[in-house]
Amino acid sequence: DIGASMTLHAFGAYFGLAVAGILYRSGLRKGHENEESAYYSDLFAMIGTLFLWMFWPSFNSAIAEPGDKQCRAIVNTYFSLAACVLTAFAFSSLVEHRGKLN
Protein backbone atom coordinates (compact mmCIF):
# COMPACT_ATOMS: atom_id res chain seq x y z
CA ASP A 1 0.00 0.00 0.00
CA ILE A 2 1.66 3.17 -1.20
CA GLY A 3 0.06 5.70 1.13
CA ALA A 4 -0.44 3.42 4.17
CA SER A 5 -4.17 3.93 3.75
CA MET A 6 -4.95 0.38 4.90
CA THR A 7 -3.37 1.11 8.28
CA LEU A 8 -5.13 4.45 8.54
CA HIS A 9 -8.56 3.11 7.63
CA ALA A 10 -8.19 0.02 9.82
CA PHE A 11 -7.39 2.29 12.76
CA GLY A 12 -10.41 4.47 11.95
CA ALA A 13 -12.68 1.44 11.72
CA TYR A 14 -11.58 -0.04 15.04
CA PHE A 15 -11.66 3.36 16.74
CA GLY A 16 -15.19 3.97 15.46
CA LEU A 17 -16.37 0.56 16.63
CA ALA A 18 -14.83 1.12 20.06
CA VAL A 19 -16.45 4.54 20.47
CA ALA A 20 -19.81 3.22 19.25
CA GLY A 21 -19.57 0.36 21.75
CA ILE A 22 -18.78 2.74 24.59
CA LEU A 23 -21.51 5.25 23.74
CA TYR A 24 -24.23 2.67 22.99
CA ARG A 25 -27.27 2.72 25.24
CA SER A 26 -30.00 0.14 24.80
CA GLY A 27 -32.75 2.62 25.67
CA LEU A 28 -32.16 4.48 22.42
CA ARG A 29 -33.63 1.76 20.21
CA LYS A 30 -37.03 3.40 19.96
CA GLY A 31 -37.46 5.45 16.82
CA HIS A 32 -38.10 9.16 16.73
CA GLU A 33 -40.41 10.97 14.35
CA ASN A 34 -37.53 13.10 13.02
CA GLU A 35 -35.30 10.15 12.07
CA GLU A 36 -36.32 10.15 8.41
CA SER A 37 -33.86 11.50 5.88
CA ALA A 38 -34.49 14.81 4.19
CA TYR A 39 -34.30 15.37 0.44
CA TYR A 40 -31.22 17.58 0.65
CA SER A 41 -29.43 15.01 2.81
CA ASP A 42 -29.95 12.32 0.17
CA LEU A 43 -28.91 14.75 -2.56
CA PHE A 44 -25.67 15.65 -0.78
CA ALA A 45 -24.92 11.97 -0.20
CA MET A 46 -25.35 11.27 -3.92
CA ILE A 47 -23.16 14.22 -4.91
CA GLY A 48 -20.47 13.09 -2.46
CA THR A 49 -20.63 9.55 -3.80
CA LEU A 50 -20.24 10.72 -7.39
CA PHE A 51 -17.39 13.02 -6.37
CA LEU A 52 -15.55 10.14 -4.70
CA TRP A 53 -16.13 7.79 -7.65
CA MET A 54 -14.63 10.37 -10.01
CA PHE A 55 -11.67 11.60 -7.98
CA TRP A 56 -10.72 8.88 -5.48
CA PRO A 57 -8.60 6.87 -7.96
CA SER A 58 -6.47 9.92 -8.82
CA PHE A 59 -6.11 10.79 -5.14
CA ASN A 60 -5.19 7.22 -4.31
CA SER A 61 -2.51 7.04 -7.02
CA ALA A 62 -1.08 10.55 -6.62
CA ILE A 63 2.08 9.54 -4.77
CA ALA A 64 2.74 6.40 -6.81
CA GLU A 65 5.56 6.35 -9.32
CA PRO A 66 4.34 7.45 -12.76
CA GLY A 67 3.76 4.65 -15.22
CA ASP A 68 2.74 1.11 -14.44
CA LYS A 69 2.43 1.53 -10.66
CA GLN A 70 0.20 4.57 -11.01
CA CYS A 71 -2.06 2.84 -13.56
CA ARG A 72 -2.24 -0.24 -11.35
CA ALA A 73 -3.29 1.90 -8.37
CA ILE A 74 -6.06 3.51 -10.41
CA VAL A 75 -7.37 0.19 -11.76
CA ASN A 76 -7.21 -1.44 -8.32
CA THR A 77 -9.13 1.48 -6.83
CA TYR A 78 -11.91 1.12 -9.40
CA PHE A 79 -12.02 -2.64 -8.80
CA SER A 80 -12.32 -2.09 -5.05
CA LEU A 81 -15.07 0.51 -5.53
CA ALA A 82 -16.99 -1.88 -7.79
CA ALA A 83 -16.55 -4.74 -5.30
CA CYS A 84 -17.88 -2.53 -2.50
CA VAL A 85 -20.97 -1.65 -4.53
CA LEU A 86 -21.69 -5.28 -5.38
CA THR A 87 -21.18 -6.33 -1.76
CA ALA A 88 -23.49 -3.58 -0.50
CA PHE A 89 -26.21 -4.66 -2.94
CA ALA A 90 -25.79 -8.31 -1.98
CA PHE A 91 -25.99 -7.64 1.76
CA SER A 92 -28.92 -5.27 1.30
CA SER A 93 -30.80 -7.98 -0.55
CA LEU A 94 -29.90 -10.61 2.07
CA VAL A 95 -30.85 -8.47 5.06
CA GLU A 96 -34.17 -7.25 3.65
CA HIS A 97 -36.87 -9.77 4.54
CA ARG A 98 -38.47 -9.64 1.08
CA GLY A 99 -35.16 -9.72 -0.80
CA LYS A 100 -35.59 -6.19 -2.10
CA LEU A 101 -32.83 -3.63 -2.50
CA ASN A 102 -33.83 -1.03 0.03
pLDDT value for 32:
67
Residue 73 · residue 5 · CB < 8 Å: no
CA distance 60 to 9: 13
| pLDDT(62) > 90 | no
CA distance 22 to 36: 25
| pLDDT(2) > 70 | no
> What phi and psi values does residue 51 have, to the nearest 5 degrees?
-60, -45
Give pLDDT tens digits for 3-29: 677 888 899 999 999 998 888 777 666
